């Protein structure tokens, strides 16, 4: 009843998942920066997340830890699990998982993935996710995870339909407060959950990404920005102060730069005002 990708780019670990199931993000994904990531699904055993991450932290391989834990699980034939660690990756599908069910793994250098699903329209869901992940090499990690998830959804996804989706990713020093949480986004109940998750990922990149494509605030651009800010009630002598005041109000303060104006801040300012 679920399809997921568990992956690493060598620095970050994360899981993207979708299902015809309420609030799948509360059950399936788990990750620990510097350690690994896990997806537990199909009559999910949530304790697999902590148990597998602890095993990886202790130096056990993903394959060995998954084999050991499933061997001790009386309901293992109903389970499906994907895990990626620093040195290897593994996917497990019990024989009693509802068809179509299966998974695939791969690694290229420090980049690795485990993709799996059950109650799918067919094996092309998993194959499409794998192709999309590989083709998205070079994209930001969270965007690459969602690209793979959307490919699985477009290929048919959960054959019962859509309801929820989630993305959880970690990287040392990431996050608003540098806590290590790169993304923690959930769509708990939505008719187009994967697409809605992609929208949230775009917003997260906007609000929490750093400055990019910064242009100096000089000449005609400075005049334009000053005019647009004035239309929003900012009339201070300092253009930088006016811009910082507005950016803080609309939650774009992480994109402020002393060197000028970030491309996406400029886009949002233009979208918020008339020329």
Measured CA distances, 63 to 115, 134, 268 (Å) = 14, 22, 46
* For residues 121-129, average pLDDT: 97
What is the number of domains present in the chain? 2
The residue range of the domain holding 230 is 219-272
Contacts of 252 (CB under 8 A, 6+ apart): 206, 207, 262, 264, 265, 268
Mean pLDDT value across residues 170-189: 93
Give the per-residue pLDDT at 267: 95
**pLDDT one-digit tens code per residue, 146-169:** 999 999 999 999 999 999 999 999
- Give, in degrees to the nearest 5, the angle at Cα 208 between 204 and 211: 125
Mean pLDDT confidence for 172-190: 93
**Residue ending a domain, choose from 208, 232, 261:** 208
Enclosing H/E stretch for 30 = strand 29-32
Domain match, 138 and 229 both: no
Mean pLDDT of the region 126-149: 97
Question: What value does the mean pLDDT of the chain take?
Answer: 96
What pLDDT is stored for residue 275 in this prediction?
59
Q: Taking 90 as the threshold, does the pLDDT of residue 137 lie above it?
A: yes
* Residue 195 to residue 74: CA distance in whole angstroms: 36
Based on the domain organization, do 224 and 254 belong to the same domain?
Answer: yes
What pLDDT, on the 0 to 100 scale, is given for residue 183? 96
* pLDDT band for position 235 (cuts 50, 70, 90): confident
Are 138 and 239 found together in one domain? no
Compute the average pLDDT of residues 1-7: 94
How would you label 62-84 residue by residue, b for 16+ Cβ within 10 Å and e otherwise? bbebbeebbeebeebebbbbbbb
User: Would you say residue 214 lies in a domain?
Assistant: no
Same domain, 251 and 204: no
Residue 189 has pLDDT above 90, yes or no: yes
Instruction: Note whether residue 213 is domain-resident.
Output: no
Q: What is the pLDDT of residue 237?
A: 74
- Nearest one of 266, 21, 273, 265 to 165, comparing CA atoms: 21
**Cβ(222)–Cβ(47) under 8 Å?**
no
Q: What is the CATH number for 183?
A: 3.60.20.10
pTM: 0.91
Q: What is the pLDDT of residues 240-249, one digit of tens each?
A: 999 999 999 9
Q: What is the pLDDT of residues 70-112, one digit of tens each?
A: 999 999 999 999 999 999 999 999 999 999 999 999 999 889 9
Do the domain assignments include residue 40? yes
Residue 5: the pLDDT is 98
* 242 lies in some domain: yes
246 in the same domain as 112 = no
């Amino acid at each position: 009843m679920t399809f997921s990708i568990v992956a690493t780019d060598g620095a970050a670990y994360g899981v993207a998942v979708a299902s015809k199931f309420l609030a799948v993000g509360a059950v399936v994904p788990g990750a620990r920066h510097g350690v690994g990531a896990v997806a537990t699904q199909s009559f999910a055993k949530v304790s697999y997340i902590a148990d597998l991450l602890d095993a990886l932290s202790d130096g056990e391989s993903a394959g060995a830890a998954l084999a050991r834990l499933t061997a001790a699980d009386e309901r293992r034939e109903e389970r499906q699990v994907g895990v990626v660690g620093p040195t290897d990756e593994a996917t497990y599908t019990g024989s009693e998982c509802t068809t179509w069910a299966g998974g695939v793994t791969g690694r290229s250098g420090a980049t690795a993935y485990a993709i799996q699903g059950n109650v799918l329209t067919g094996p092309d869901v998993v194959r499409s996710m794998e192709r999309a992940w590989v083709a998205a090499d070079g994209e930001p990690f969270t965007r690459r995870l969602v690209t793979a998830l959307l490919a699985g959804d477009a290929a048919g996804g959960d054959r019962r339909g859509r309801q929820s989706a989630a993305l959880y990713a970690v990287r040392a020093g990431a996050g608003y407060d540098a806590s290590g949480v790169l993304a923690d986004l959930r769509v708990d109940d939505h008719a187009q959950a994967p697409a809605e998750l992609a929208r949230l990922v775009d917003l997260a990149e906007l609000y929490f990404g750093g400055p990019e494509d910064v242009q100096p605030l000089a000449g005609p651009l400075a005049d334009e920005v000053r005019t647009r800010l004035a239309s929003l009630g900012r009339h201070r002598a300092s253009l930088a102060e006016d811009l910082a005041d507005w950016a803080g109000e609309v939650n774009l303060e992480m994109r402020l730069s002393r060197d000028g104006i970030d491309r996406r801040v400029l886009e949002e300012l233009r979208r918020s005002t008339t020329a």
